[in-house]
Structure 1
Amino acid sequence: MMTPYGYEQFWVKAKLFLNRAMDPSTDRTEDEKQLWAALALELLAKAALCKVSPILVAEPTDDGSHALKAAGLIEGEPHFTTARASTIFKRCQRVFRPFSEEEATKIASGRNEYLHGAALGITGIPPHAWWPRFWAQANILLTAQGADISLLVGPERVDQVETYLAQNKKNIEHQLTSRIEAAKLSLARFREGRMSGSELAKWQAPQRWTPVMDYSASATCPACSGIGMLEGSDIADRRVTEYGGNEGDHFIGIIAEIDVSPEYFSCPTCRLVLDRFELIAETELGDECFTIEVDPEDLADWLEPEYGND
């Protein structure tokens, strides 16, 4: 039985839309080109998920009918529904790092406003800035499904896309540099007593420097070398280590640890905030996951049966 959520269907349609988006013809306006590209991004996201399992693109329902159809377990009903773009992007962010749900949603929101709203343009972002942001997300989805740029747009357009990707990397580097330098300057002004009025009031206002995500660990701030907080919600790996006495002694217990992908960093000393994975990845903070120890009970569903609660 053929599932309506086949990988090939999404992939071919994404290629078609990208061809329209990159068509050099003057018949299409820039807004129309960005519209086709935005539609293609959602299709690429569905293709990437579908290659893992068609169930991942099915619209969730109480009776599970769409998931069952995606799995090829039921047939006979002509109507099939995939999950909303927001749901698709959330799932991609969790499994295809460093895909950004936020960036993808901005692209989709511009598309929706252009189609259904009163605005004449798809976005206020100029093309030279919009396309690097688009290709940064699209390229992650290509990598996730084992494809490359040439397979999507053809070898003659690879250089154009590579230029956009290089430009996006520079933009991220510039954002990181500007945030770090601003944090250093603000801290120096505060310590030297050169802040006054609203600036000082804002600096001294009570702020929430407690973790806002599921997992956190202390980390050295790249701006002031103080102690900040690195946070994340997605577990990259889990492991347990036995501890006890000498060889032959009875088992005493285990240490459970998890590796977490960093997603957010904040420093209460200089007020630096890095709220995107791409920014963290440009620092030493993003070189690898951070590790924390957890209660073995938290991994009860993952551990082997002998580590259970019997």
Structure 2
Amino acid sequence: MPENVYIAIDSDALHAKSKVYVGRALARKGVGDLDEYQLWASLALELLGKAALARKHPSLVVDPTHWQSMFVAAGINVTTDVKTIAAKTLFERLTHLVPRFDKTVQKFCQDIAERRNAELHSADLPFRTMRLDAWEARYWHACDTILHQMGSSLEKWLGAADAKAPRQLLEEAANALDAAVKIRVEAAKERFGALKKSERERLAAEADLREPHHQVELFKGRYDEIWVESCPACKCRAFMTGEQSSEEISEERDEYAIWEIVDREFLGEEFRCPTCDLMLMGSDEIDASGLSYIHEDQQEREMEYEPDYGND
């Protein structure tokens, strides 16, 4: 980590400013100004996200097309005009750093950033038309997800007293999500169970023939991998997809082998069962269904060797 990072991209400074802004947000909520509550909250979220990236390395938050900012990220202060990444890029990058910051959370964060931009740079009033219950719980969930990656919490970020309401809101939202997913799974189970036995057996046999690489069209997004899961509703062969989060070279290899074993880890984003039509979006829904959103496998690939120089 560079020792003299300019304050504009210093993780601690970004984190401290996010705390100031979220404090302003709660103050505006306290007097009933819900427009400004969402405005300051959106600014606090973006600063918190940048603090998380900068903690990994400050180069992750500067504009890669602005060479002066890249120098500053390397600890060489050649300018005071540091340019940072846009909110869209920020939230895309967080999906690769924060395990629970999945596509669902990313879209929510992007939406609130777009509403903020419309609020500040146009005559539109998007915050005024946004109901509190349509965004607040998901906002605190997004913040809590980022803070957890940073080894922090809502309590630390807001102060124990101020965190009570958001934490209670998070718990209520989590309980509501858990109940909703369980009802969804039970409904799919009942639909499948209502079919004739011969029909269930036929569908199960067809499901056993499906292979992951043929299921791309099942999913809304494009991800790194598709893998097999047992459906929690109908117990048939179903599929999950997600982004790769890590890989390591396995120690289980021969010294003279030309192939290596790679241990890979993926984080589930979407679950689909073609048999009973059960769909789960995001790691929270997957987790609530009883499935694990973490998938591990091994891949064999040819080893790469550095070319030898000067030995001709």
TM-score, length of structure 2 as denominator length: 0.79
1:127–1:191 CA distance, 2 compared to 1 (3 A): farther
The question of whether the paired residues in 2 share the 8 Å contact of 1:257 and 1:291 is answered with: yes
Task: Tell me which of 202, 217, 220 is aligned to 1:208.
Answer: 217
Aligned position for 1:238: 248
The question of whether the paired residues in 2 share the 8 Å contact of 1:48 and 1:141 is answered with: yes
State the Cα distance separating 1:43 from its structure 2 match. 0.5
Aligned position for 1:145: 150
Mapping for residues 115-126 of structure 1, pairs under 5 Å: 115-122=120-127, 124-126=129-131
Q: Matches of 2:10 and 2:263 in 1, distance apart?
A: 38
Aligned position for 1:277: 283
Aligned position for 2:117: 112
What's the CA shift string for 1:86-134, capped at 9, x where partnerless? Answer: 1111111211120221221122222223333444341654324422111
What's the CA shift string for 1:140-181, capped at 9, x where partnerless? Answer: 222222223233222221211211110221232134224324
RMSD: 3.1
Aligned position for 2:11: 7
Task: Tell me which of 81, 96, 99 is aligned to 1:97.
Answer: 99
1:102–1:190 CA distance, 2 compared to 1 (3 A): farther
Q: Matches of 2:122 and 2:131 in 1, distance apart?
A: 19
- Which is worse superposed, 225-234 or 103-112? 103-112
Residue type of the alignment partner of 1:78: T
Q: Matches of 2:36 and 2:281 in 1, distance apart?
A: 31
The alignment covers a number of residue pairs equal to 284
TM-score, length of structure 1 as denominator length: 0.79
Aligned position for 2:58: 54
Aligned position for 2:229: 219
State the Cα distance separating 1:263 from its structure 2 match. 1.7
State the Cα distance separating 1:284 from its structure 2 match. 3.3
Aligned position for 1:262: 268
Residue type of the alignment partner of 2:95: Q
State the Cα distance separating 1:212 from its structure 2 match. 4.2
Structure 1 position 164 matched with structure 2 position 145: no
Residue type of the alignment partner of 1:12: A
The question of whether the paired residues in 1 share the 8 Å contact of 2:182 and 2:288 is answered with: no
The percentage of aligned residue pairs carrying the same residue is: 27
The question of whether the paired residues in 2 share the 8 Å contact of 1:237 and 1:260 is answered with: no
Q: Matches of 1:124 and 1:167 in 2, distance apart?
A: 24
Aligned position for 1:66: 69
What's the CA shift string for 1:259-301, capped at 9, x where partnerless? Answer: 22222211111111212121112233226x222332323x74x
Structure 1 portions without partners, runs of 5+:
193-205
1:15–1:295 CA distance, 2 compared to 1 (3 A): same
- Which is worse superposed, 206-215 or 27-36? 206-215
SS in 2 for 1:216: strand
The question of whether the paired residues in 1 share the 8 Å contact of 2:240 and 2:269 is answered with: yes
1:90–1:58 CA distance, 2 compared to 1 (3 A): same
Task: Tell me which of 122, 132, 135 is aligned to 2:140.
Answer: 135
Q: Matches of 1:151 and 1:207 in 2, distance apart?
A: 42
Structure 2 portions without partners, runs of 5+:
198-214
What's the CA shift string for 1:41-65, capped at 9, x where partnerless? Answer: 000001111111111111121x643
